[in-house]
Structure 1
Amino acid sequence: MSDIIETDDAAAAVGAYSQAVATDSLVFTAGQIPFTPDGDSRADASIAEQTELVLDNVENVLAEAGCELSDVVKTTIFLADIDDFDEMNETYADHFDEEPPARSAVQAGALPKGVGVEIEVIAAK
């Protein structure tokens, strides 16, 4: 059995998907992009600023599910340009400095709404 997780404290889903789905032991977030909870895009901001907003969204979705960033066991990061990896990684490391989760980071052909970064996570409850 699973529960749909939704919060007004993160960017709303922009399609036919949920912000996250929780099972008894895991939370799976959808890819979060740099949109404010009010729906304003920050696609024109630096990758560091986009990453910060994305991780804020991730954190708020996880909070709705009763989790926090320290519960994350796996992240997947999609970058519009892999050359932005170092800048993204500096901001990311501020949020996952002790015992960071497993991670994959790839350059995607294109990201939704012209953003530079999208992050999805799996957290253990």
Structure 2
Amino acid sequence: MPEYHNDATLPVPTFPGSHLVLDDDYVFVSGLAASDIQGGDTVLGDIVEETRWVMRRLEHMLASVDCDLTDVVRADIHLADLDDLKDMNAVYAEFFPADHYPARTCTESPRLSGDSRVEITLMARRRCSPRRQASETDDRRQGESSESE
């Protein structure tokens, strides 16, 4: 059964949705823009700082469900202007180990909320997946029963 969470440090969504949804294997993080973050309006218009603010907040949100950016398997990025791609990529790359980048889509979306320049949505694999834990428990039991035979 999915779990629905809202980050207490972010405004309550004004749309019918949740900040985070967890299923047995994955964490889905709704799109986040600097204008969604308290104080984020101070960096609006600067793609480098907006990207940095958003990535830091996404790190925080993932940590709240025992994940981190190395667990991210997919990112969807919306830029108000694709001319910002190079600068956004430079900051985005700082948050992942080299050659360990998630699958990604990046599109131009000229009307992002609150005059933001970037919005990022993530999908991460859960480390402590209930399904994976059950499978590991079954594997251990099978291993123990074959050792006793």
TM over 0.5: yes
In the TM superposition, residue 14 of structure 1 has moved relative to its aligned partner by 3.8
Partner of 2:47: 47
Cross-structure match for 1:75: 75
By how many angstroms is 1:15 displaced?
1.4
Q: Counterpart of 1:12? A: 11
Amino acid aligned to 2:122 = V
User: Does structure 2 conserve the Cα–Cα contact (< 8 Å) formed by 1:26 and 1:122?
Assistant: yes
Alignment gaps of 5+ in structure 2: 127-149
The 3-state SS of whatever aligns with 1:4 is strand
Q: Which amino acid aligns with 2:32?
A: Q
Alignment of 1:113-124 (within 5 A): 113-124=114-125
Give a deviation string over 1:58-107, Cα, whole Å, max 9, x none: 11111112110000000000000000000000000000233111111110
Number of equivalenced pairs:
124
Distance 2:37 2:113 in 1: 16
Contact 1:50 1:117 in 2 (8 A): yes
Q: Which amino acid aligns with 1:118?
A: E
Q: Distance in 2 between matches of 1:24 and 1:73?
A: 15
Contact 1:12 1:39 in 2 (8 A): no
Task: Supply the distance in 2 between the matched residues of 1:52 and 1:40 (Cα, whole angstroms).
Answer: 10
Identity level (%): 31
Separation in structure 2 between the aligned mates of residue 38 and residue 46 of structure 1, nearest angstrom? 16
User: Which amino acid in 2 is paired with 1:55?
Assistant: M
**What is the match of residue 57 of structure 1?**
57
One-letter amino acid matched to 1:70: T
Larger radius of gyration: 2
Shift of 1:18: 1.0
CA-to-partner distance for each residue in 1:21-73, whole Å, 9 max, x for gaps?
A: 01011000000111474364245341010000011111111111211000000
Q: Distance in 2 between matches of 1:82 and 1:13?
A: 29
Between the aligned partners of 2:52 and 2:45, the Cα distance in structure 1 is 11
One-letter amino acid of the structure 1 residue matched with residue 107 of structure 2: V
Instruction: Flag the structure with higher helix content.
Output: 2
